[in-house]
Amino acid sequence: QDNRISIWSAGDVGNVGLSGEYQGEPQLLCDIRHNGDVMDMQFLDQERIVVASSTGTVTIFRHHQNNQTLSANQRWEKAHYHVDQDTSCGGAACTGVICNNPEIVTVGEDGRINLFRADQKDAVRTIDNADSSTLHAVTFLHTTEILTVNSIGQLKIWDLRQQRNEPSQIFSLTGDRVPLHCVDRHPNQQHIVATGGQDGMLSIWDIRQGTMPVSLLNAHEAEMWEVHFHPSNPDHLFTCSEDGSLWHWDTSTDISEKPSFLHQGGRSTTYFSHSTINQSVVSAWLSNDPTKDRMEITNLIPNQTLSVNSLDILGPCLVYGTDAEAIYVNRQLFA
């Protein structure tokens, strides 16, 4: 009922226990009230955070590090709406936000795409009827191109230089129209994209060829809420799900060369053959090179039962949030 944006300090690396769990108490640095449910958020820069609300409003909050306070820096009221922007009840949830400072792209339940620029009062560009279904997530492919996923299993590429309100390309999962909830682009190879959706499957796409995914990988038993390539080590990918699992997908080395200690400690490990994937580039995500014909998958939280709603990674650090109203920090991903 009472939503807040909070900034925490998770302390320093020195306080890590044997299991990689952080030992000290995280400190709440500051928080601020937020109108509506927080649907998505992302740092724009070191001090500013862009937040998407279920009311359709998009807000930039500034973190003042000198006195540890948060303030609303800029707000676009009802950036997303069903009927019109002026009616009191017309807001539509803003479901996703992505930043490439100073540009901010938002998508929503109203099928609308907005391009904002920090420090500009009005939207730079709005594509009103970008989609007839809900847009669930968005990512930048290049500085002028974005990719959206929707509730009928489609990926669409939009070229923001074009004035046309039509996607430049459409991709789709065959037949089923399974809603897609999340998308991430490979940090070095912009043509490789990963998506996840309602059926828990992980789909890998090569947007240079075809309109269907190059591989479909069995993953979670319920909705996949988030997918992320590791930003500096993209042979590693992370997914989390309503089924309470958080999977680490590792394509970095051949399994046979790995010591078997990975099987200890209650981690379940499964392997998938890559033989079904089209030969195209030398990325482990797309190749069927015999030395990379297997992928190792580890469930990082084997006994979790409540939904894992969100995750992020940086260096050796993984952060995730669950329906247990808790945030977890694992600082030894690759230890």
CATH number at residue 179: 2.130.10.10
Sign for the pseudo-dihedral over CA of 73, 74, 80, 86: positive
* pLDDT of 36 strictly over 90: yes
Whole-angstrom Cα distance, residue 230 to residue 238? 8
C-alpha 279 chain-centroid distance: 27
| Token couple for 142 | 């290049």
Q: Which of 130, 163, 182 is the last residue of a domain?
A: 130
Comparing 147-151, 226-230, 260-264, 317-321, the range with the smallest average pLDDT is 260-264
Q: How would you classify the pairing of strands 317-322 and 326-330?
A: antiparallel
Strand order in the sheet with 125-127: 94-100, 103-108, 113-117, 125-127
Q: Please, which pLDDT band fits residue 252 given cuts at 50, 70 and 90?
A: confident
Identify which of 155, 158, 166, 160 has the alpha carbon closest to the alpha carbon of residue 205.
155
Total residue count of the chain as it appears in this document:
335
In a domain, 264, yes or no: no
Q: What is the pLDDT of residue 20?
A: 58
In this structure, what DSSP letter does residue 15 have?
Answer: G
Query: Cβ–Cβ contacts within 10 Å for residue 194, how many?
Result: 27
Domain ends where: 130, 162, 193? 130
Domain, as residue range, for 221: 174-252+281-334
Q: Is residue 318 part of a domain?
A: yes
200 and 322 belong to one structural domain: yes
Instruction: For residues 182 and 322, state if they share a domain.
Output: yes
Mean pLDDT of the chain: 85
For residues 319 and 190, membership in a common domain is answered with yes
199 and 64 in a single domain? The answer is no
Which segment of 50-64, 188-202, 204-218, 220-234 scores lowest on mean pLDDT? Answer: 204-218
Domain-located, residue 246: yes
Per-residue pLDDT tens digits for 96-116 = 999 999 999 999 999 999 999
Question: Which of 130, 163, 191 is at the close of a domain?
Answer: 130
Structurally, the chain folds into a number of domains equal to 2
The verdict on 210 and 70 lying in the same domain is no
Cβ count within 10 A of residue 101:
12
